[in-house]
Structure 1
Amino acid sequence: MATNEVSVKAPAGKKIYSQEEAVNASLEYFRGDDLAARVWVNKYALKDSFGNIFELTPDDMHKRLAKEIARIEERYPNPLKEDEIYKVLKDFKYIVPQGGPMTGIGNSYQIASLSNCFVVGNDGDSDSYGGIMKIDQEQVQLMKRRGGVGHDLSHIRPKGSPVKNSALTSTGIVPFMERYSNSTREVAQDGRRGALMLSVSVKHPDSESFIDAKLEQGKVTGANVSVKIQDDFMQAVEAGTSYQQQYPITGDPVYTKNTDPTKIWDKIVKNAWKSAEPGILFWDTILNESVPDCYADLGYRTVSTNPCGEIPLCPYDSCRLLAINLYSYVENPFTKDARFNFDLFKEHVHYAQRIMDDIIDLELEKIDAIIEKIDSDPEAEDIKFTERNLWNNIKNKAKEGRRTGIGITAEGDMLAALDLRYGSENATDFSEEIHKTVAIEAYRSSVYLAKDRGAFAIYNTEREKNNPMINRIKKADPELYEKMAKYGRRNIALLTIAPTGTTSLMTQTTSGIEPVFLPVYKRRRKVNPNDKDVRIDFVDEVGDNWEEYTVFHHHFKTWMKANGIDTNRAYSQEELDKFVQKSPYYKATSNDVDWLNKVRMQGRIQKWVDHSISVTINLPADAKQELVGQLYFEAWKSGCKGVTVYRDGSRSGVLISNDESDKKKESGSPFPTKRPERLEADVVRFQNNKEKWIAFLGLMDGKPYEIFTGLHDDEDGILLPRSVTKGYIIKSWEDEESSRYDFQYINKRGYKTTIEGLSHKFNPVYWNYAKLISGTLRHGMPIHKIVELVTSLQLDNETINSWKAGVARTLKKYIEDGTRADDAKCGECGSDDVVYQEGCLTCLTCGNSKCG
């Protein structure tokens, strides 16, 4: 489903660069960092819908951003000049707008929002079917404009509750999880799937079903899920007392249920240990600390978070993100004279907050363009109503509250450059001082902006007087608080710490608040053996040649240079290990850092972040389940607003539940040994070598069970209307020598139509291979293994080769996201950390995705 709409074509005379020109120029810009160059060209360079590239390097992008931000500055007193803005953006050195702002500011080829995060919902927590469908539509409309979306399901009445319609009782939460998840999978954003967060309160009677939905059913693959946990639940788990669930979850309940909280807690812990979900949101901490919730009765009641959890939001609010590169403020890094330049840092925090406020004005312009586009669309007014109303609501919230999202990146590199070991007590002390400085100076900047530009529309000192975040600022800087009481504040909330995956590739630093992943590691690069001066270190099972090379984390290399170590020499693994042991990165990687210390560090920093922090606690594969529970309790007591754990390998394959019936399936075939006479079937059409092909895929419990394939519209093949996508495969008869399978569907007139003899309609060669594949499916071989089997078949006939590609594509649609591709290598970076995502092979190292 294409979604990014183009307003104009490339203007006449506008310089267009080829992909090769842009990559080569960016490669020089990033000093030979191929991954950074390709990420920038593919994701952030200015393009039109035809793929024409209008920027040669990130320098062109930074000039584009500076020009637009300076245009907004001219509206206000004491405007920043374009060159001043450009200097703090240049080279990704100091201030880095993230995602939407980088691609969208000054982009006239795309009608899209600049916001990275949205939350939607219904006034009054309506759980009517109409209200639920409205959220579904709003979610899709936001995703098509590049936004990640979150919404809460706690307002939906629990399963079995009476409803006043023909259904008589409610279906509960899980079916709507599937609906929202499926909608996410349908929406494409420049070839990327949308991002969704679904949350529910642990008080809700259906929360256990919510917690199990992804693990047991394997259907909610298009969403992240988090449980909102209140303090009284944690206290009940700790004390071993009973816990009351209720609906509605606030106010006077119409339904209550006493439950054992330890049972729910164990389920959360086990599932997180097994699959890295659900995440945890400590909801009372979020609400109590939230500055916007001082205005809850005016529409700012926080209801959910964005997909990564770092921005809790009220319905129809949104946020744009920006990161400050902490490493760049370390002078004389990795030497005994290393120091952090707090004066320059404070100055740049003010720049960052001011730029963020300007970006809100740029966002309001974008929203006006979106509304104008909606108005000009040819659809009927009743069709356009929900979308137009959605964007008007978002515009009003952005204009009224002017929420910003200033964060940081390169925390790990900053600490190493100052010879502070990540996770140690002195490193955490210093990190807390950094984030306290960000908070105070960002709030100070917002007060100055309020003096010059006006406070956000509903600012009220009296409403905020008991807020813990505001009182920490008051205690740290009483003079600042007095000025805030006098002039107000320009922005309702200001701070976050988001994941900075691709951003950190371009800053060439550690990501966000995280430590270094690895200071040095090996990669493989595919090579052409006929090229000159090529070294072949490895030949894979299909005969491709690879060169193995050492990759240094950028600032580990800086440390090497600072210590007189030649970075151009080839070193043995033993020598590399010795270098790492001497460096400040030793015992400070994501897998080395003491987990409890990391949680405590997060809690201390959280006190100076008015939104939240996106951080992952990385655990080794052999970590015990009990450790996850211990970490969650420590996070709650430390004041964290949320936490996610990832145990190495926990998402490497298809997830199954732990009940007894599923345990039996693990040891043998997941399907009955006797084939039912009638199976649901999907019809899949594909094309190879200009020939039309068709596949009938029999399904059992929604999973592939058998397959029949062949030429479509061939005189000896099958003629089937294009509208037919589903039906049934009927086993008509079977004897010792042969069998017959028919395909049956309902035509447009409502009559049952049968195509007899799938086994006889297709060429016998296809039938034999269909029997082979069906046999392996029925006996429980994982789908991704069957795909690998099919693609590895050595077939000489060109048509058969075309056929096997089509079969592989058909089956890939049913591989669960996150399944590791065994022995696969990324053609872009050589990493073997490759998984299936929506049938495509996706590299978790560099993000490269390949379908086919």
Structure 2
Amino acid sequence: MIEKIIKRDGRVVDFDISKIANAIWKAMQAVGEKDKSLSESLAKKVVEKLESKLSSNQIPTVEQVQDIVEETLIEAGLSKVAKAYILYREKRAQIRKEKMQILNKDYIDEVDKAFDINALRVLVSRYLNKDESGRVVESPKQLFQRVAIHVTLPSLLYDERVFSKKSSLQKESKIKIQDYLGKARIGKYFLNIYHLEALERLHKRMNKEKLMKKDFSEILNMLTKDEFKDYEKEVDEYYNLMVSRKFMPNTPALVNFGNPLGMGMACFVLGMEDSLLSIMETLKNAAIIFQSGGGCGYNFSTLRPEGDFVRSTHGVSSGPIAFMTLFDKMTDVIKQGGVRRGANMGILNSDHPDIEKFVVAKKGNLQLTNFNISVFLKEDFWEYYKENKPYPLINPRNKQIVKYINPKNFFDLIVYQGWESAEPGLLFDDNINRYNPFLKALGKIESTNPCGEVLLYPNESCDLGSINLWAFVEEEYDGEKRVVKINWEDLEKTVRLAVRFLDNILDINKYPLKKIEERTLKTRKIGLGVMGLADTLFELELPYDSKEGLDFMERIMEFINYYSKLESIEIAKKRGSFPYFNKSFYKNGNLPFRGFYEKESWHFDWEKVSQDIKNHGLRNAYTTVIAPTGSISMIAGCSAGIEPVYSLVYEKKVTIGSFYYVNPVFEKFMEREGLFDDNLIKDVVRNNGSIKNIPYIPQRYKNVFKTAKDISGKDHVKALASIQKWVDSSVSKTINFPEDVSIEEMKETYLLAHELGCKGLTVYREKSIAGVYTVPQEQKEERKVMTSLKDEKVKGPTIYKEITPSFYTQEDYITASEKCPQCGTPLIVKEGCKICPNCGWSACSL
């Protein structure tokens, strides 16, 4: 009986017959065969033949197994399947070669295999450690190991052998942690210097809080003796969570954990008072945050308006927009953690005297290029709007009314600027603060992070991570009938593990500023979100803009929120609630999302959740946020966030050539229909990435495979509202409009968003932002021959690399000069941000 197999990199691993069956099944599907049971019986024949050829105790190699698969298929009279399998082997060999070139390695390991080619490019470009010459000195496997170790460290200090809520202050021993390098370990995992520094930093804080039974030297001795070896399992869990691509933390954690900066948080909000000293202090703090890898949001409404009197100088104020320009210039020269430029969110309240100037501040996108801007539409605005009463603008310095404006004209101005420049966004005060747990104790939240989805008080921050929904789609066959379902049990386990992952980040994170550390740990907000929604809906054949699609969105978010709350309760039982628990409405049984107050839509016992929180507390004031997933969704090989697919096929021009990316679910369905070929790719590209107007594609597929541009603005908003219903904080999503949309239609969409309970709104009208990617139009020359670089083992986009140069010119797809500052690829707009589809760079990539 065969028990082991030798992999190409020399590793000996357990033999798994299902892998043979799966490979045969893929070859069968490629030629239209639909009897999956045949692939299983053929796999058994392969094993029988292999056993007959091997000597006693001989371990087969992968190549030997694949040779026998070919023989077996030919002997079974399945010549077409055999040909498809041979082509599959050739593709796999080509992919291995491509991956080795990308990683500059002479072999690829099991982690390299788990990620598609594009994911490895992104990892090399932005995530893997490099030496001074820019040469990669870290593998993806080593990256995920250093992050998993780092995230596990807090659990060691919550171990009952060293942790107690009633401990006394321990003495601080003078030690050299360098002496423990190569000795301190968690089972098979050895801690590097940055892991040890992080652990020491956390121990000092917890010791000051009188939570430690042992001093740090005793902790180090325990590590040296491997007394924490039981936590090797937890490291493995976090590692496998990322390598399986079921969950990814935000970019700073992947870049900085186990490395010098040690900062894993992406989102910060800074406040400022109406004084030059305070403004410059905030500017300095923002620079420090950018250097560490985070982005900042600010509400500038505390600043007196332009031209207002300044007592200290007997002069006049420059106003908030002038100071925003100062922040914008600073951002240009500070690079975040060596990975990305700084990102800002500038907010101004609707009743500020400079609000009209603010609304048009980014007209034509000619200034404040490092800012997203949003109007904070105050709750009382709607009263004036509905009655068309003059709306007062109030000087924040003396609270006196400066002037009145027409609220309808003002709202129309906002809509027009959204139509013209995709800015400003809107933040709805009433919808934000209606479910704010700290409204009574801390006042209103009036600020967000750069992409608008994380609602924070000044000096608060939030760590983010996203679950790849597509990873939980399971496809089975009952005869020839395709059956697709969500593995809810596995999803629950992943949600719970991801909550522990993110909660540990709060403890082990190296905060850029002490006051941010203190405020963040008072509320312990985490942001568990999702990605891969569009791919999941494709698999389930649910149109994004259908009632069934919206119902699924609600159900999936309720599920994730429910189990995230249950896990946060469990952590609170052992480690304690967030310190501001008694300042929140949780103690009264309230929850921070609209779905809790609409019992008719419940699928779970939320009353019990509420009661359990009252009885046992809650570890995290927020558990759910839908953040942008630009880079991490590229690593996971899935669609971004909750966005519909931007284009089913699109071209990228990079330094090493031209590539065509095809949505993998679309490709799979078209292959099964016998429609997938170069002509289809050509037609989709000609139709701006959509299949809506391609006559030979069946209507059922046109209903399912809709792009962002095929969906109306109102249906985008309905999707946003469906997700928001079960999300604690807010949601990053772009409301897409066609180029020819009317301003009135956009206005109706804005009003619908407020009516449906959305907390904010970001819009993008096609071509309203100069310089972003548009799918190239077909030219007269015929398409060159293309070769597929699809990695059959990995869910992800097929890459078609042209053997001859692309017939597209630069002018065909660049509408202006705005390109990715890292790789030069034209930018696209999704999740409220401009993002590079090649390397993942974004102004607010998380």
The alignment's TM-score, normalised by the length of structure 1, stands at 0.66
The one of 143, 146, 150 aligned to 1:68: 150
Secondary structure of the residue that 2:268 maps to in structure 1?
A: strand
Q: Which amino acid aligns with 2:498?
A: A
What residue in structure 1 maps to residue 286 of structure 2? 139
What residue in structure 2 maps to residue 418 of structure 1? 540
Secondary structure of the residue that 1:323 maps to in structure 2?
A: strand
What residue in structure 1 maps to residue 317 of structure 2? 170
**Are residue 115 (structure 1) and residue 225 (structure 2) matched?**
no
Relative to structure 1, the CA distance from residue 191 to residue 72 in structure 2 (aligned partners, 3 Å threshold; closer, same or farther) is closer
Relative to structure 1, the CA distance from residue 564 to residue 471 in structure 2 (aligned partners, 3 Å threshold; closer, same or farther) is closer
Q: Which amino acid aligns with 1:326?
A: L
Relative to structure 1, the CA distance from residue 92 to residue 560 in structure 2 (aligned partners, 3 Å threshold; closer, same or farther) is farther
- For residues 279-308 of structure 1, give each alpha carbon's deviation from its aligned partner in whole angstroms, at most 9, with x where no partner exists: 1111221122222445416xxx52311111
* Residue pair 1:291, 1:470 contacting (<8 A) in 2 also: no
**Are residue 158 (structure 1) and residue 305 (structure 2) matched?**
yes
* Residue pair 2:589, 2:611 contacting (<8 A) in 1 also: no
- For residues 206-242 of structure 1, give each alpha carbon's deviation from its aligned partner in whole angstroms, at most 9, with x where no partner exists: 1011111221793322211110012332343343222
Q: Distance in 2 between matches of 1:120 and 1:236?
A: 30
Relative to structure 1, the CA distance from residue 255 to residue 471 in structure 2 (aligned partners, 3 Å threshold; closer, same or farther) is closer
The one of 824, 829, 841 aligned to 2:810: 824
What residue in structure 2 maps to residue 98 of structure 1? 250
The one of 348, 353, 357 aligned to 1:209: 357
Q: Distance in 2 between matches of 1:587 and 1:825?
A: 28
**Are residue 432 (structure 1) and residue 554 (structure 2) matched?**
yes
Secondary structure of the residue that 1:144 maps to in structure 2?
A: helix
**Are residue 641 (structure 1) and residue 759 (structure 2) matched?**
yes
**Are residue 148 (structure 1) and residue 292 (structure 2) matched?**
no
Q: Which runs of 5+ in 1 are unaligned?
A: 1-16, 371-390, 528-545, 655-821
Q: Distance in 2 between matches of 1:329 and 1:24?
A: 30
The one of 623, 636, 640 aligned to 1:511: 640
1:256 CA drift (Å): 3.9
What residue in structure 2 maps to residue 835 of structure 1? 818
* Residue pair 2:590, 2:610 contacting (<8 A) in 1 also: no
Relative to structure 1, the CA distance from residue 296 to residue 116 in structure 2 (aligned partners, 3 Å threshold; closer, same or farther) is same
Q: Distance in 2 between matches of 1:628 and 1:831?
A: 26
Q: Distance in 2 between matches of 1:313 and 1:93?
A: 29
Relative to structure 1, the CA distance from residue 521 to residue 170 in structure 2 (aligned partners, 3 Å threshold; closer, same or farther) is closer
Relative to structure 1, the CA distance from residue 492 to residue 240 in structure 2 (aligned partners, 3 Å threshold; closer, same or farther) is same
Aligned positions of 1:302-341 closer than 5 A? 302-332=445-475, 336-341=482-487
Q: Which amino acid aligns with 1:165?
A: S
What residue in structure 2 maps to residue 405 of structure 1? 527
Q: Distance in 1 between matches of 2:110 and 2:501?
A: 28
Q: Which runs of 5+ in 2 are unaligned?
A: 1-99, 161-229, 600-604, 685-690, 773-807, 828-835, 842-846
Secondary structure of the residue that 1:137 maps to in structure 2?
A: helix
1:449 CA drift (Å): 0.4
The one of 408, 420, 423 aligned to 1:277: 423
Relative to structure 1, the CA distance from residue 111 to residue 217 in structure 2 (aligned partners, 3 Å threshold; closer, same or farther) is closer
Aligned positions of 1:604-753 closer than 5 A? 604-652=722-770
Q: Which amino acid aligns with 1:274?
A: E
Secondary structure of the residue that 1:456 maps to in structure 2?
A: coil
Q: Which amino acid aligns with 2:148?
A: A
**Are residue 241 (structure 1) and residue 389 (structure 2) matched?**
yes
**Are residue 264 (structure 1) and residue 399 (structure 2) matched?**
no
- For residues 360-406 of structure 1, give each alpha carbon's deviation from its aligned partner in whole angstroms, at most 9, with x where no partner exists: 1220xx23xx6xxxxxxxxxxxxxxxxxxxx1101112322221111
Q: Distance in 2 between matches of 1:233 and 1:244?
A: 9
Relative to structure 1, the CA distance from residue 259 to residue 509 in structure 2 (aligned partners, 3 Å threshold; closer, same or farther) is same
Between 1 and 2, higher relative CO (CA 8 Å, sep ≥ 6) is seen in: 2
The one of 117, 123, 128 aligned to 1:40: 123
1:198 CA drift (Å): 0.5
Q: Which amino acid aligns with 1:199?
A: I
**Are residue 486 (structure 1) and residue 486 (structure 2) matched?**
no
1:121 CA drift (Å): 0.7
- For residues 115-152 of structure 1, give each alpha carbon's deviation from its aligned partner in whole angstroms, at most 9, with x where no partner exists: 10100113xxx201111111111111111111100101
Q: Which amino acid aligns with 2:327?
A: Y
Q: Distance in 2 between matches of 1:470 and 1:424?
A: 23
Relative to structure 1, the CA distance from residue 156 to residue 191 in structure 2 (aligned partners, 3 Å threshold; closer, same or farther) is same
Q: Which amino acid aligns with 2:442?
A: A
1:98 CA drift (Å): 1.6
- For residues 786-812 of structure 1, give each alpha carbon's deviation from its aligned partner in whole angstroms, at most 9, with x where no partner exists: xxxxxxxxxxxxxxxxxxxxxxxxxxx
Q: Distance in 2 between matches of 1:649 and 1:638?
A: 27
1:51 CA drift (Å): 3.0
The alignment's TM-score, normalised by the length of structure 2, stands at 0.66
* Residue pair 1:100, 1:320 contacting (<8 A) in 2 also: no
1:46 CA drift (Å): 2.7
What residue in structure 2 maps to residue 846 of structure 1? 837
* Residue pair 1:161, 1:170 contacting (<8 A) in 2 also: yes
Secondary structure of the residue that 1:451 maps to in structure 2?
A: helix
Relative to structure 1, the CA distance from residue 580 to residue 352 in structure 2 (aligned partners, 3 Å threshold; closer, same or farther) is farther
What residue in structure 2 maps to residue 21 of structure 1? 104
Q: Distance in 1 between matches of 2:564 and 2:822?
A: 44
1:569 CA drift (Å): 7.0
1:349 CA drift (Å): 0.9
* Residue pair 2:716, 2:736 contacting (<8 A) in 1 also: no
Aligned positions of 1:362-401 closer than 5 A? 362-363=508-509, 366-367=510-511, 391-401=513-523
1:520 CA drift (Å): 2.7
The one of 354, 357, 365 aligned to 2:500: 354
Relative to structure 1, the CA distance from residue 216 to residue 596 in structure 2 (aligned partners, 3 Å threshold; closer, same or farther) is closer
* Residue pair 1:303, 1:315 contacting (<8 A) in 2 also: no
1:522 CA drift (Å): 4.8
Q: Which amino acid aligns with 2:304?
A: R
* Residue pair 2:303, 2:320 contacting (<8 A) in 1 also: yes
1:88 CA drift (Å): 4.2
What residue in structure 2 maps to residue 288 of structure 1? 434
What residue in structure 2 maps to residue 796 of structure 1? none
**What is the number of equivalent residue pairs in this alignment?**
609
**Are residue 442 (structure 1) and residue 570 (structure 2) matched?**
no
**Are residue 583 (structure 1) and residue 669 (structure 2) matched?**
no
Secondary structure of the residue that 2:442 maps to in structure 1?
A: helix
> Percent identity of the aligned residues?
29
Q: Distance in 2 between matches of 1:204 and 1:281?
A: 15
* Residue pair 1:104, 1:112 contacting (<8 A) in 2 also: yes
Q: Which amino acid aligns with 2:495?
A: V
Q: Distance in 1 between matches of 2:251 and 2:419?
A: 30
Indicate the RMSD between aligned Cα atoms, in angstroms.
3.3
Q: Which amino acid aligns with 1:338?
A: V
Q: Distance in 1 between matches of 2:387 and 2:476?
A: 49
1:586 CA drift (Å): 4.1
Relative to structure 1, the CA distance from residue 193 to residue 167 in structure 2 (aligned partners, 3 Å threshold; closer, same or farther) is farther
What residue in structure 1 maps to residue 167 of structure 2? none
Deviates more, 1:599-608 or 1:567-576: 567-576
The one of 639, 662, 665 aligned to 1:552: 662
Relative to structure 1, the CA distance from residue 574 to residue 218 in structure 2 (aligned partners, 3 Å threshold; closer, same or farther) is closer
Q: Distance in 1 between matches of 2:632 and 2:311?
A: 50
* Residue pair 2:304, 2:395 contacting (<8 A) in 1 also: yes
Q: Distance in 2 between matches of 1:447 and 1:147?
A: 28
Q: Which amino acid aligns with 2:668?
A: T
Q: Distance in 1 between matches of 2:711 and 2:626?
A: 19
